[in-house]
Structure 1
Amino acid sequence: MASNENNTATPNGGGELQRTMTFFPALSTVMGTVIGAGVFFKAASVAQNTGSTSMVMLSWFLGGLISVCAGLTGAELAAAIPETGGMLRYIERAYGKFASFLLGWAQVIIYFPANVAALSIIFGTQFKNLFGLSDGTVVPIAIVAAISIMLINFLGSKAGGMLQSVTLVCKLLPLAAIVIFGLLRQGDVSVSLFPVQAGASAGGFAPALGAGLLATMFAYDGWIHVGNIAGELKNPARDLPRAIAGGILGIMVVYLLVNFAYLRTLPIDQLAGNENASMEVAGRIFGGMGGKIVTIGILISVYGTINGYTMTGMRLPYTMGKEKTLPFSNQLSKLNKNSVPYIAGVLELIIAIIMMLVGGFDMLTDMLIFVIWIFYTLVFIAVIKLRKTEPDLVRPYKVPLYPVIPIIAILGGLFILVMTLLTQFSLAMVGILITAIGIPFYFFMQSKNK
């Protein structure tokens, strides 16, 4: 899609997305999309996999370091190719249309709907717990949450960006309260950060670090997808790299402080595998109402995260529809009167609802992380590839310490993929199979367009 997207959009499918977003909504999209269920629900998994306070903190630090290097690397392409579609454009530029289509297919069919579905299930679960409802209400509440967010986004990118900004501020309040009061309060538990070693039940240093790091990656995921709305930023070359790099650094600081507060409040054996750890920590810090306060914070946090994936995710079927690479492309490329690809949004919502009915949180998140990191790693490699094949490409931002930071990002990506194949082979194969199902559709559309 061309980068001259500042024309007035029309609802008949022939218009372009409007450039109305500024830096803070972009920063809010990065931080708001990333900070969500992960910081609350993956802390227990990291503790269980590592078995020690020192390894917990190391896992969160290394996860943030990989994400910072990944963000700084990916931001070079985001600034040089500031077009709606994000990774679709980077992959196509480096590897061609076939690779770009497979990424788009994986995101449309797996990644974005699975994120919306998994997070909506978490929202429904927390809502049920807060109001003491029956287990049968979880999925209906999840569906209502996803539909309500989609309807808000149908009002336009400004409405979605405003919701993202508001929920970001709201979600940081309970996190800030836990950090400030948790660190000022006399700790009940001794936290040892050195020497860094795995717990007795973790199976050794390398397996513990690998499993702990893998568990953090869902919590850090989501930063790159602000590139999907580059075509709606007023100044993408300036604001996009700042939003990605600044957002991830802020997220890493938040995660380290929150988890340190957890470890000072709950013993590692009580934190490990405890999905209610955040509520228990808040209960000890603030008293009986603490758990309910944090639950409300989780609801706001997850709602904002669903919005981030909804707002950016619906742009992908739209972009692929404009390129005539998906069935029913003419419909998917239509915009409503608010310049929103509403039919593409409905498609993503339907797939997400189906996933809510058949899948669980862990299964969906594990599969989507493996699939998306295949393409993340290709993006990191593309930065080096395009430096050689397109040296004259205008790069308003260049990754610092080149090629060290891109190489760290590549090695981090390969580590995640290899560890997933070793520990969750069947799930990884399912993700690859669903991605490969898109291949016949690609050649069918190629033949049809000819």
Structure 2
Amino acid sequence: MSNQLKKTLGLSAALSTVVGMVIGSGVFFKPQAIYTATNGAPGLGIIAWIVGGIITITAGLTAAEVSAAIPRTGGMMVYIEEIYGQKLGFLTGWMQTVLFFPGTIAALAVIFAQQVAELLGYLPSDMMIVLPVAIGIILFIALLNTVGSSLGGTIQTIATIGKLVPLILIIIFGFIKGNGNPILDPMVGQGKTVAGTLGQVLIATLFAYDGWINVGAIAGEMKNPGKDLPRAIVGGLSVVMAVYIVINIAYLWVAPASELASATAPAALVAQRIFGPVGGKLITIGILISVFGALNGYLLTGPRVPYTLAKQGTLPGSKTFAKLNKGNVPANAIWLLAVLASLYALSGQFNLLTDLTVFTIWVFYVFTFVGVMKLRKDKPQLNRPYKVPLYPIIPLIAITGGLIVIVNQLITATMIALGGIIITLIGIPVYAVTSKNSK
């Protein structure tokens, strides 16, 4: 085969890639949603970080088999198309184009804007400040990405440092200066049950763990994917899980769960307690750099999906969105996501947007996990450089974990779940029209 990716990645490079792709903004902001759901109790929150990590590891190990077996550009959309056919493949890309990517970009922009507002002395709920900043940062990063992809690497490197510094400092000084608060007791607050709350807190932690789907993309560049890919996934995601658990214990060591539930940015609140007002602001700036990097990452990679759909001729306005500009980037596809993200950002809601995107993307993740088993049955002769270990136990854990999240969200947040389903299903009549035109 021609145009093969060069196999240059060893285990250490793959491990750092996994950690870098997953750690983003959720670890700094999601404790608020978690401890609000538990009614100010710490126990189930910590359990959710552990369970979310285990589900994520099994998900990564499972999806990586498909990634390695179908090494084509386009990610999950391509895998689902290969396994289930063109229509479901299109629906995957449609959902990512009109909901997942713009919704996630909007959520990150909103939380970025809320932190800027607080840093400047305004209330994080002041929409007169938050909305212009959120939309402004989306359009600014979109503009940077239309210039060319050369800036992307530099921004990502700075952002990686930006997110690691606050994490390390809060962990070290949190345990030194914190007074100590309950970590596991009680599990949930008054009027809450573990069974009824688990799905809500898992949705929050799974947003923080999101990014694992990209892990399989490195399979084609690994020297020994069969041996090193599972090690990179288990090792890398275990490191992420350990960091998430330790920093959340550090948060609780400094401030009780009931207080974290009322803070827009728990990490910034804890930093202020540890380092004082000036130190707290410096940590907040580090967190802002991390969120900026996450925003850049989504606006750098997300447009590839509508661009791929447009190249197939199945996206409305395909001729426009299939074009590359002078910088050899899909500028029109970038602006499509930026405009949609700006519209979502008008909600001013971080947790609502992330719940919407996590629910919908996990529906398609479960299709991917089931697809691993379907592909083994339908195409046993397919070359698989990597096979999921402990088959079928690992895929079944991933499927079960995904179904728990989906079903719980349908029961406890029905309107959000239905909204995601309706937006996705609009893709069916769109595909019916565009696929005829493309033929």
- Normalised to the residue count of structure 1, the TM-score between the two structures is 0.88
Quote the offset at 1:237 in angstroms. Answer: 7.8
Determine the structure 2 residue equivalent to 1:113: 102
1:130–1:313 Cα change, 3 Å? same
Determine the structure 2 residue equivalent to 1:78: 67
Quote the offset at 1:408 in angstroms. Answer: 0.6
Stretch moving more, 376-385 or 176-185: 176-185
Determine the structure 1 residue equivalent to 2:44: 55
Q: Distance in 2 between matches of 1:22 and 1:154?
A: 29
Q: Does 1:286 align with 2:307?
A: no
Q: Does 1:388 align with 2:380?
A: no
Q: Which amino acid in 1 is paired with 2:28?
A: F
Q: Does 1:314 align with 2:303?
A: yes
Measured against aligned partners, the alpha-carbon deviations of 1:108-153 in whole angstroms (never above 9, x if no partner) come to 0000001111111111111121123583232222223222322333
Measured against aligned partners, the alpha-carbon deviations of 1:36-87 in whole angstroms (never above 9, x if no partner) come to 3311221122123234333221111001111111111111111221222100
Quote the offset at 1:276 in angstroms. Answer: 3.7
Determine the structure 2 residue equivalent to 1:182: 174
Q: Give structure 1 stretches of 5+ with no counterpart.
A: 7-17
1:250–1:192 Cα change, 3 Å? closer
Q: Distance in 1 between matches of 2:17 and 2:110?
A: 21
Determine the structure 2 residue equivalent to 1:42: 30
1:300–1:324 Cα change, 3 Å? same
Root-mean-square deviation (CA), in Å? 2.8
Stretch moving more, 26-35 or 290-299: 26-35
Match among 121, 124, 131 for residue 139 of structure 1: 131
Q: Does 1:163 align with 2:146?
A: no
Match among 257, 262, 279 for residue 268 of structure 1: 257
Question: SS of the counterpart of 2:359?
Answer: helix
Quote the offset at 1:165 in angstroms. Answer: 2.7
Determine the structure 2 residue equivalent to 1:13: none
Q: Distance in 2 between matches of 1:73 and 1:369?
A: 18
Q: Which amino acid in 1 is paired with 2:146?
A: F
Determine the structure 2 residue equivalent to 1:12: none
Question: SS of the counterpart of 2:346?
Answer: helix
1:22–1:354 Cα change, 3 Å? farther
1:177–1:46 Cα change, 3 Å? same
Q: Distance in 2 between matches of 1:274 and 1:211?
A: 18
Quote the offset at 1:29 in angstroms. Answer: 6.7
Determine the structure 2 residue equivalent to 1:249: 238
Q: Does 1:405 align with 2:394?
A: yes
Q: Which amino acid in 1 is paired with 2:341?
A: A
Question: SS of the counterpart of 1:288?
Answer: helix
Q: Distance in 2 between matches of 1:243 and 1:102?
A: 30
1:4–1:86 Cα change, 3 Å? farther
1:340–1:244 Cα change, 3 Å? farther
Q: Distance in 2 between matches of 1:87 and 1:427?
A: 23
Q: Does 1:150 align with 2:142?
A: yes
1:437–1:374 Cα change, 3 Å? same
Q: Which amino acid in 2 is paired with 1:199?
A: V
Q: Give structure 2 stretches of 5+ with no counterpart.
A: none
Q: Which amino acid in 2 is paired with 1:153?
A: N
The answer to whether the 8 A contact 1:399-1:405 is kept is yes
Stretch moving more, 206-215 or 424-433: 206-215
- Normalised to the residue count of structure 2, the TM-score between the two structures is 0.90
Quote the offset at 1:200 in angstroms. Answer: 3.8
Q: Distance in 1 between matches of 2:328 and 2:215?
A: 18
Determine the structure 2 residue equivalent to 1:209: 198
Quote the offset at 1:172 in angstroms. Answer: 0.7
1:27–1:83 Cα change, 3 Å? farther
List aligned pairs for 1:91-130, cutoff 5 A: 91-130=80-119
Q: Distance in 2 between matches of 1:280 and 1:226?
A: 32
Q: Does 1:191 align with 2:179?
A: no
Q: Distance in 1 between matches of 2:162 and 2:392?
A: 38
Stretch moving more, 53-62 or 126-135: 126-135
Match among 414, 417, 420 for residue 431 of structure 1: 420
Q: Distance in 2 between matches of 1:279 and 1:377?
A: 35
Determine the structure 1 residue equivalent to 2:368: 379
Quote the offset at 1:266 in angstroms. Answer: 1.1
Stretch moving more, 291-300 or 83-92: 291-300
List aligned pairs for 1:336-347, cutoff 5 A: 336-347=325-336
The answer to whether the 8 A contact 1:86-1:226 is kept is no
The answer to whether the 8 A contact 1:71-1:244 is kept is yes
The answer to whether the 8 A contact 2:299-2:334 is kept is yes
Quote the offset at 1:433 in angstroms. Answer: 0.8
Measured against aligned partners, the alpha-carbon deviations of 1:371-419 in whole angstroms (never above 9, x if no partner) come to 1111000001111111111112111122122111111100000000000
Stretch moving more, 107-116 or 387-396: 387-396
The answer to whether the 8 A contact 1:373-1:417 is kept is yes
Q: Distance in 2 between matches of 1:126 and 1:200?
A: 28
Quote the offset at 1:20 in angstroms. Answer: 12
Q: Does 1:368 align with 2:360?
A: no
1:204–1:138 Cα change, 3 Å? closer
Quote the offset at 1:290 in angstroms. Answer: 2.9
Question: SS of the counterpart of 1:207?
Answer: helix
Stretch moving more, 269-278 or 72-81: 269-278
